[in-house]
């Protein structure tokens, strides 16, 4: 059987080739900055990072599976710079006690380092310096972890417990540019206070983030946004700029209005001033899509076309796809530790794994879907294959080599 010429064998497992994207970074400097190796004689920070990434990329369900899987690798551990696989108790202690702040900063450092591979040439034909997308996803936890973070709904509503991953991404990138992890009960709008946005940038988010005091601050700093209007919002229509009739199956702007809304400002400590009222002038765009769905958008930009407002909000689907990638292709249904630090560490390591696979996918210029890339790497994690050739390969099987018959058989036939 002939070898497939499209897949080359190399001297390193695929897992080592993935780790090379991190080893090129000043990992030692970051370890010294956080002093994360203090009190650890054998289970160093890099060893924990390798252990966590191995479990996430191979989709292990527990720390036992991770440690037993590493132990079964045998002689291949030396490629990763490990003398032996960590014991389960040692790995669990490190996950529980080593601060997740190191992995958080490592993620953002890697985003900055590989930024050239993450951006593409898509343009929106807009005048904004950057278009940013905001959303959050909830990760459910057991009732004895992060106690009290769930809501207590009235009636028969379900209790929503766990943590929230709030994320800000660039519209032309597929990884988190700014990430904040909070308890699930923390309101989404509080995430907006953490953002530092430049003037003439555009932020797109859903109506769960509606925060009129923040909208007023952004308007003063020429930071623009597009969101959806809440159903119970109270406003006064000042001017109707456009108005059209609805037609079935036709996507079009129905109304373009200038409205005014009342809100209560906050002091420098974030306390709402209930006795003080202020007014903010915004723009409301009513839109119907091809499926006859009705939307009401809210923005503080009065210069762009109404169709552009609807187009920008449609781009928000990109961050939904990012969360879908994270939940479908990585193990976030089972957690390797039972305290808050362990959970945060696993979430940050999952984001690091997703970032590394995205960079490899872009470097390989692979046309395969991200889910296929994640599956191929999981299956061949310790194979001695060139990861880029593996992702580029389109052959379904090895070529079968047709060998000539033996000489004695040829003589008989003659």
Confidence grade of residue 157 (pLDDT, cut at 50, 70, 90): low
**Range with the poorest average pLDDT among 134-138, 145-149, 317-321, 323-327:** 145-149
Please give the pLDDT value at position 87.
Answer: 92
Spell out the residues 6+ positions from residue 105 whose beta carbon is closer than 8 angstroms to its own.
30, 33, 34
**Distances in whole angstroms, Cα of residue 216 to Cα of each of 168, 225, 231, 261, 277:** 20, 11, 20, 11, 13
pLDDT tens readout for residues 339-389: 889 988 998 999 999 999 999 988 888 888 889 999 999 999 988 888 988
pLDDT tens readout for residues 263-302: 888 887 777 787 888 999 999 999 998 888 999 999 999 9
Helix, strand, coil share of the chain (percent; to 5): 40, 20, 45
pLDDT tens readout for residues 36-95: 988 888 899 999 999 999 999 999 989 999 999 998 887 778 888 888 889 999 999 999
pTM score:
0.78
Please give the pLDDT value at position 147.
Answer: 47
Does 410 score more than 50 pLDDT?
no
Backbone torsions φ then ψ of 58, nearest 5 degrees: -90, 0
pLDDT above 70 as % of the chain:
84
Backbone torsions φ then ψ of 255, nearest 5 degrees: -145, 145
């Amino acid at each position: 059987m002939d070898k497939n010429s499209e897949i080359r064998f190399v001297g390193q497992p695929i897992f080592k080739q993935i780790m090379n994207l991190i080893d090129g970074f000043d990992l030692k400097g970051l370890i010294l900055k956080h002093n994360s190796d203090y009190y650890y004689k054998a289970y160093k920070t890099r060893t924990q990072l390798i252990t966590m990434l191995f479990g996430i990329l191979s989709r292990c369900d527990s720390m036992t599976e991770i440690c037993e899987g590493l132990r079964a690798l045998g002689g291949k551990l030396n490629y990763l710079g490990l003398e032996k696989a960590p014991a389960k108790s040692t790995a669990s202690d490190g996950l529980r006690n080593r601060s997740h702040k190191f992995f958080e900063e490592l993620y953002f450092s890697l985003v900055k380092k590989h930024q050239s591979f993450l951006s593409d040439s898509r343009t929106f034909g807009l005048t904004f310096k950057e278009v940013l997308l905001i959303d959050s996803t909830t990760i459910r936890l057991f009732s004895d972890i992060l106690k009290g973070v769930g809501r207590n709904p009235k009636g028969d509503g379900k209790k929503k417990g766990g943590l929230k991953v709030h994320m800000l991404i660039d519209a032309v990138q597929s990884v988190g540019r700014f990430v904040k992890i909070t308890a699930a009960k923390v309101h989404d709008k509080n995430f907006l206070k953490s953002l530092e946005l430049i003037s003439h940038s555009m932020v797109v988010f859903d109506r769960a983030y509606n925060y009129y005091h923040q909208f007023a601050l952004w308007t003063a700093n020429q930071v623009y946004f597009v969101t959806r209007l809440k159903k119970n919002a109270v406003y006064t229509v000042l001017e109707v700029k456009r108005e059209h009739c609805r037609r079935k199956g036709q996507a079009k702007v129905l109304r373009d209005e200038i409205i005014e809304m009342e809100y209560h400002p906050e002091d420098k400590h974030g306390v709402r001033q209930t006795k003080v009222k202020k007014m903010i002038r915004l723009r409301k765009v009513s839109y119907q899509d091809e499926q006859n769905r009705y939307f009401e958008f809210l923005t503080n930009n009065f210069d762009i076309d109404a169709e552009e407002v609807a187009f920008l909000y449609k781009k928000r689907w990109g961050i939904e796809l990012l969360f879908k990638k994270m939940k479908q292709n990585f193990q976030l249904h089972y957690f390797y530790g039972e305290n808050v630090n362990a959970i945060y560490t696993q979430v940050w390591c999952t984001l690091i794994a997703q970032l590394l696979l995205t960079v490899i996918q872009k470097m390989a210029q692979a046309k395969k879907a991200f889910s296929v890339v994640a599956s191929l790497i999981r299956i061949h994690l310790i194979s001695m294959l060139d990861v880029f050739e593996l992702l580029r390969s389109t052959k379904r099987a090895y070529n079968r080599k047709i060998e000539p018959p033996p000489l004695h058989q040829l003589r008989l036939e003659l």
